[in-house]
A and B are shown apart, each in its own frame.
Chain A
């Protein structure tokens, strides 16, 4: 009987379907994993971090920051080679 219970437990463990699809990447993990940080700007409650490693692609959105410090989302950019792209994170002051 003990062997039966053990075998059933192992079976359940082997067959348990994983359902987690998205792993939330914290801002620290994101920063550590990405290319050289070019600039940091602030836009209201968000800190904007800009990197130089992005390959734009149809279907993708990116943030572009202007010289006057305003940032906006761009859609469906296409191109070749490395481009600057920015990500926004909630600044500690804005949380």
Chain B
């Protein structure tokens, strides 16, 4: 009996062709947004105009510099009475705060951890993380009286490379084993950012002398919805969403991550920040023989595609004013802070 439901050979061929075309299109569409990329060549680099602010290291021997509204907050190298300072827009000291020590309101290794909104122009609410102690503090600095008060916000009990308060009960954290996670304070649940819990070996990593393979720093987007993580010894960038910790992009400079981990190159990132529709990252390349450093400002679009690279003076530390899109690069040797206006940059 003839099967009236069987498809004709020509129909089968047509459907097959259609499905093959769809499969090929899917292949190209899916591959258009690879989240792991290697940048092997920079676009032709332009130089970038800047304003140079000299500072007096005798007055303020800064190790790090961060924007705090109309002010700067520094952590200081040894030699200053206070371990942190407030400077005005021209890098002139306004007041100092914080002491090194083991007392209740003292810190061992203070790190700037953000600024909270203040209800008075004369008060700054500075978040400070004490790295080896794993404690987050809120410091109220009175710019008029030059006094300050320190209060403990959270104590992790172990050394912490990063503590950011994202909301009432959520923190972005990073222990000394350098594995980023989101902490729900109410439940105690930890959610590692995508990929940061691979090959975890807590027994070895809890060793007090453990040094992670890739050491990083990070900065949050202005609305705390994303974090950009940058390598201090390996030129790698990670962009994560913070609602679920997923990895949006991983960008390596020069080679894939495996090769970067084992080669002798001395290149790294001095800083990376998320702006409005772009990410700015300062890439540094050190000549192994001479020790000289070349720095480049790399501008990525919101999909982490490199748009341009600009040669800039060597940078030791980088901070970013998200309100004004001004990038500041601190150079210890030059005793200078270089300011770059990123508004309108391609």
A residues near B, CB below 8 A?
Answer: 1, 3-4, 7-8, 10-11, 14-15, 17-25, 29, 33, 43, 46, 48, 55, 57-63, 71-73, 75-76, 78, 80-82, 87-88, 90
Please report the C-alpha to C-alpha distance between residue A25 and residue B234 in the assembled complex, in whole angstroms.
14
| Interface 1/0 per residue, B240-272 and A, CB below 8 Å | 000000010010000001100111101010000
Q: How many A-B residue pairs have CB under 8 A?
A: 124
Residues in B with CB closer than 8 Å to A58 are 63-64, 217, 316-317
Please report the C-alpha to C-alpha distance between residue A73 and residue B207 in the assembled complex, in whole angstroms.
11
B residues near A, CB below 8 A?
Answer: 12, 16, 19-20, 23-24, 26-27, 30-31, 34-36, 63-64, 75, 77, 109, 111, 131-132, 159, 161, 176, 194-196, 198-199, 204, 207-211, 213-217, 232-233, 238, 247, 250, 257-258, 261-264, 266, 268, 286, 291, 316-317, 332-333
Tell me the minimal C-beta distance from A65 to chain B in angstroms.
Answer: 10
Instruction: Rank and list the top 7 A-B pairs by shortest CB-CB distance, nearest first.
Output: A21-B195, A15-B30, A11-B27, A59-B217, A88-B209, A75-B109, A7-B23
Residues in B with CB closer than 8 Å to A63 are 209, 211
Residues in A with CB closer than 8 Å to B24 are 7, 11
Query: Are the C-beta atoms of B176 and A22 separated by less than 8 Å?
Result: no
Known: A14-B30, A58-B63. 11 other contacts (CB 8 A): A4-B23, A11-B23, A11-B24, A11-B27, A21-B194, A21-B198, A24-B199, A61-B176, A61-B215, A78-B77, A80-B332
20 contacts between A and B (CB under 8 A): A1-B16, A7-B20, A8-B19, A14-B31, A15-B26, A17-B36, A18-B36, A21-B257, A23-B258, A23-B261, A33-B262, A57-B268, A60-B232, A73-B132, A73-B176, A73-B211, A75-B132, A76-B131, A87-B211, A88-B210
Tell me the minimal C-beta distance from B333 to chain A in angstroms.
Answer: 7
Query: Are the C-beta atoms of A75 and B131 separated by less than 8 Å?
Result: yes
Please report the C-alpha to C-alpha distance between residue A29 and residue B131 in the assembled complex, in whole angstroms.
29
Please report the C-alpha to C-alpha distance between residue A61 and residue B132 in the assembled complex, in whole angstroms.
10
Nearest to B21 among chain A residues (CB) is A7
Nearest to B333 among chain A residues (CB) is A80
